[in-house]
A and B are shown apart, each in its own frame.
Chain A
């Protein structure tokens, strides 16, 4: 008997019982159900929720693999210094690097999926509805947007909070107004700020080595800029673009995020309008700040000087901006739905991200706050876009002369 038949029989055995949704989910997660509708007219699309989610996961796999190696690379480079002559195979794709990544990031992934799916199953059984696959994408996004050494119990609490308060109370998958992955990150940020910001958490073991003779630094590019120490980091623009810099697990490689984004646009899963407008928004805000510096309105001693003086386009390749724009802002549930609305929605995400990044006193990053803020405003934007459209059509209809139609 094949696995599919076994799963089907288990499912039948539990039919009508309390645990039915859970077994049903395991079966339908892996296979097409045995019984499908035979009569009536149905439009059958291949891109159901499960397929959509899997496509996003595929686009995230390169980022995830890169993050395994980068976790180790940053860890060993912080201890031994960055290699003078960087060789991709000698210094980056090594087993030691991979091992550090596997031992730090895989547990994050397992906890994220374990707790998140556990709660989804629990709610499905309690409410007696089918399990929704809503957590599949959130589950892989979560470990990619937290620092590498995030304690697992904190992540577990945050995931539980994010799934219950961010999603289930609104009615489950597709009904949430806030992006669940970002809700989880926001919870971690406000609950345990010492683990989510500062110059230690971004590199493996930097926290536990702090204060000892072996202390290592894990300062991010933005961290240096926020302290007006732009001259002190040694990362080149190509380091930033390809991702050989410290940061949250999966946010560093703009290159691979871009590839994932192109794949999502090609497969029509994510909206290119949101991505493009968010990039424009970030560039505009960056240009404004650069102009402020060029006009001489702030002095070099201003605490915002280095962040404002940062070349405007480089905002896109440091921190979580690229990751947020490609994988978070384009969430079809929490983003704007109208074509025009998407332009406004994306633009303000980029614009506000860079704004918060520069002016946030404690933490030089704001992408997740900007996206959550615009998640809240997305329905309002859509409302006005729709109203404007109605008004325009009404005007056109009333301004036409009365046309006599044939009787």
Chain B
């Protein structure tokens, strides 16, 4: 790729698989369990985190040489909080129903470990372009896992995808429901999200044994 050299491309690619924030670094698990009962909420949450992380990384990276290291956590929090409020207000204005589904979890992006983790580990030590790519990459890795979990939880738990009844109508007994299929209520509970995260980790590490820590 002409636009990105190999090192920069790795910033985008690595967090998707071999350095995934959720399955490898095990960060940001809370929101992955809380809001993934619907695919739509997962996607919006992924995009919100992507916006906050990419922008925040750039801002912190630009300020990295003037932030006194003693108060850097407070500065980082101010930056995240400002960006999260922007996201929250935008959601309330343009997708009110969805912002109600996500409830406090948009606000809780502030406490998402991935964001503070990337600020500390990357943005404070790299230039704005690389920090931006790192933010996009990590948020994409986070969003990818959220979408996988959301896909299975909504499909098996509610029989819908993005709200469309793909498996038929459970009340009128059409489609799969006509032959006795029923939605799995366990999928809608948070413990099942944790189990799905566990299964993703299992599959990932059995495909790539290098990732297994001893």
Whether A190 lies near B185 (C-beta < 8 A) is yes
Whether A191 lies near B180 (C-beta < 8 A) is no
Whether B202 lies near A169 (C-beta < 8 A) is yes
Whether A192 lies near B184 (C-beta < 8 A) is yes
Among A153, A190, A191, A194, chain B packs the most CB atoms within 10 A around the CB of: A191
Chain A 179-208 interface 0/1 with B at a Cβ cutoff of 8 Å (1 = within): 000000001001111110000000000000
B189 CB-CB contact with A under 8 Å: yes
Within 8 Å by CB of B185, from A151, A157, A165, A191, lies A191
Within 8 Å by CB of A154, from B182, B187, B198, lies B182
Return chain B residues, CB-CB under 8 Å to A153: 180-181
B186 CB-CB contact with A under 8 Å: yes
Within 8 Å by CB of A165, from B181, B182, B189, B195, lies B195
Chain A 137-173 interface 0/1 with B at a Cβ cutoff of 8 Å (1 = within): 0000000000000010110010000000100010000
Whether A193 lies near B185 (C-beta < 8 A) is yes
Return chain B residues, CB-CB under 8 Å to A193: 185
Whether B187 lies near A191 (C-beta < 8 A) is yes
Least distance between B203 CB and chain A CB atoms (Å): 12
Could you tell me the distance between the alpha carbons of A153 and B184 in the complex, rounded to whole angstroms?
12
Secondary structure type dominating chain B contacts: helix
Return chain A residues, CB-CB under 8 Å to B195: 165
Whether B184 lies near A191 (C-beta < 8 A) is yes
Could you tell me the distance between the alpha carbons of A187 and B189 in the complex, rounded to whole angstroms?
11
Return chain B residues, CB-CB under 8 Å to A191: 184-187
Return chain A residues, CB-CB under 8 Å to B189: 190
Return chain A residues, CB-CB under 8 Å to B198: 165, 169
Return chain A residues, CB-CB under 8 Å to B184: 157, 191-192
Return chain B residues, CB-CB under 8 Å to A157: 184
Whether B202 lies near A192 (C-beta < 8 A) is no
Least distance between A185 CB and chain B CB atoms (Å): 12
Interface size on A, residues (CB 8 A): 13
Could you tell me the distance between the alpha carbons of A154 and B182 in the complex, rounded to whole angstroms?
9
> In the complex where A165-B195, A169-B202 touch, is A192 in contact with B185 (Cβ < 8 A)?
yes
Could you tell me the distance between the alpha carbons of A110 and B40 in the complex, rounded to whole angstroms?
40
Least distance between A186 CB and chain B CB atoms (Å): 9
Chain B 47-79 interface 0/1 with A at a Cβ cutoff of 8 Å (1 = within): 000000000000000000000000000000000
Least distance between A155 CB and chain B CB atoms (Å): 13
Whether A151 lies near B186 (C-beta < 8 A) is no
Return chain A residues, CB-CB under 8 Å to B182: 151, 154, 192, 194-195
Within 8 Å by CB of B186, from A169, A187, A195, lies A187
Could you tell me the distance between the alpha carbons of A169 and B201 in the complex, rounded to whole angstroms?
12
Chain B 160-193 interface 0/1 with A at a Cβ cutoff of 8 Å (1 = within): 0000000000000000000011101111010000
Could you tell me the distance between the alpha carbons of A341 and B126 in the complex, rounded to whole angstroms?
55
Whether B186 lies near A190 (C-beta < 8 A) is yes
Return chain B residues, CB-CB under 8 Å to A195: 182
Q: Which of A231-253 contact B (CB under 8 A)?
A: none
Whether A151 lies near B202 (C-beta < 8 A) is no
Q: Which of B193-214 contact A (CB under 8 A)?
A: 195, 198, 202
Among B181, B185, B198, chain A packs the most CB atoms within 10 A around the CB of: B185
Return chain A residues, CB-CB under 8 Å to B180: 151, 153
Could you tell me the distance between the alpha carbons of A381 and B85 in the complex, rounded to whole angstroms?
47
Could you tell me the distance between the alpha carbons of A151 and B184 in the complex, rounded to whole angstroms?
13
Could you tell me the distance between the alpha carbons of A151 and B179 in the complex, rounded to whole angstroms?
11
Return chain B residues, CB-CB under 8 Å to A169: 198, 202
Q: Which residue of B has the minimal Cβ distance to A154? A: B182
Could you tell me the distance between the alpha carbons of A191 and B198 in the complex, rounded to whole angstroms?
18
Q: Which residue of B has the minimal Cβ distance to A151? A: B180
Return chain A residues, CB-CB under 8 Å to B181: 153
Least distance between B212 CB and chain A CB atoms (Å): 14
Return chain A residues, CB-CB under 8 Å to B187: 191
Return chain A residues, CB-CB under 8 Å to B186: 187, 190-191
Chain B 9-44 interface 0/1 with A at a Cβ cutoff of 8 Å (1 = within): 000000000000000000000000000000000000
Q: Which residue of A has the minimal Cβ distance to B182? A: A192
Least distance between A201 CB and chain B CB atoms (Å): 13
State the 6 A-B residue pairs at the shortest beta-carbon distance, nearest first: A191-B186, A190-B186, A191-B184, A191-B185, A193-B185, A192-B182
Question: A187-B186, A190-B189 given. 13 additional CB < 8 A pairs?
Answer: A153-B180, A153-B181, A154-B182, A165-B198, A169-B198, A169-B202, A190-B186, A191-B184, A191-B186, A192-B184, A192-B185, A193-B185, A194-B182
Selected A-B contacts with CB under 8 Å, 13 pairs: A151-B180, A165-B198, A169-B202, A187-B186, A190-B189, A191-B184, A191-B186, A192-B182, A192-B184, A192-B185, A193-B185, A194-B182, A195-B182
Residues of chain B whose beta carbon lies under 8 Å from any beta carbon of chain A: 180-182, 184-187, 189, 195, 198, 202
Residues of chain A whose beta carbon lies under 8 Å from any beta carbon of chain B: 151, 153-154, 157, 165, 169, 187, 190-195
